[in-house]
Amino acid sequence: MTPPDHAAHPSDQPASFIAPAVGVSPETAAALLWEQAPDIAFVVLDTAGVITAWRGAAEGLFGYAEGEIVGKAIDVLFVDEDRDLGLPLLERWVAVSAQRSEDDRWHMRKDGARIWVTGSLIALQQDGRHVGFVKVMADRTNLRARIETSDNRLQSAQQQIQARDAFFGRLVHEVRNALGPMRLAAQIMEKKALVVDELAKPMSVVTRQVTQVERMMADLADVVRLGVGKLTLSRTEFDLGAEIVDIANVVESDVEAKHQTIDVLVPPAPVLIQADRQRVHQIVFNLLHNAIKYTPARGRIWIRCTVEVSHAVIRVEDTGIGIDAALLPVIFDLFTQENPDESGGGFGVGLSLVKDLVYAHGGFVEVRCDGKGQGSEFTVRLPLVAAAAA
């Protein structure tokens, strides 16, 4: 005989291949469910919480045979601390009041082992009268173990972060202590004209590098403060455009040293924001410093300031080496560096600090890059005065 075409319509099949309809009564369905449920325990209770039936996976789950457990209060399945709190009775009260009580908790097996059980206690009504309960339970100990493992890992990560912050706090303190005498010695030598001509250039290098390390330490200190929630903002109202011009003037010497070009474009009218002036300087300086560092000699940098609806917008664009596509989603994460071999030093905290400081002001920051060698553009949005007040 040729096998039937299974793709054909059922009505086209021979009658012998069509299964006859079979019905089952609700009582039989319940009995079959209790017998055949491989991992669900069904426990029937009277109104006082005494077990009257033990079905499904109940024996395999808790280790009690039906003859051992029927007639006992369901309290025997609860752990000691939950019994001491009266939780078995509370569970029944909740079920009677709300028709159902659901919980996830530790329960006790016959052999004393604890298992994590997800359960639902259903209050049964007959002719408007409460006649008992059915509790449906499933073993989820493996799920609980995974949750506890995740919790332990989270706690360990938090402890590592706290230890990291404490280490960086000490590092910043010690480095600043070491930099102070170096800067003071350089200032004394310059003030007293002790630097001969042939040492002028090396001395300027020392001074510039001390300043650079001091900035790095200041950024790292702010990262630590942000991590422990201790960074405070001193907000004042000021013209963002004028501040950007001033900051661009500060980095002009670095731009000239690499024979780069920087274009500063700000509106003729004031762009008023209410923010922490020092922190905004950090945001803009870090973005400019990043652009200078990753833009080759004779490259070009633009910093623009404009207004879009309720935000002042700062855009720093460059013709630099760009950002690898894989790094774009994590470029603002702490210690991420676009090109560690080409970064010329640094901890990779600058962009992370930018993100945190912008968010602390209620703003947004984003990056765009069309690919390696295509430069990059960072955009910061800070609320204008009216929006900040609102």
d(CA 304, CA 244): 9
Spatial separation of the C-alpha atoms in residues 90 and 49, rounded to whole Å: 11
Alpha helices in 139-276 (DSSP H): 141-191, 197-227, 240-250, 252-257
Q: What is the pLDDT of residues 339-363, one digit of tens each?
A: 555 545 555 677 888 888 898 899 9
Per-residue pLDDT of 133-180, as tens digits, reads 999 999 988 887 787 787 778 887 777 766 666 666 676 666 767 777
**What's the pLDDT score for residue 153?**
81
d(CA 229, CA 232): 8
pLDDT for 6 equals 47
Q: Tell me, what's the pLDDT at 389? A: 54
- 210 burial class (0-12, 13-18, 19+ CB within 10 angstroms)? middle
24-59: per-residue pLDDT in tens? 666 666 666 666 667 899 999 999 999 999 988 899
Whether 76 contacts 88, CB under 8 Å = no
pTM: 0.51
Classify residue 240 as exposed, middle or buried by CB count within 10 Å of its CB (0-12, 13-18, 19+).
buried
User: What is the pLDDT confidence band of residue 4, given thresholds at 50, 70 and 90?
Assistant: very low
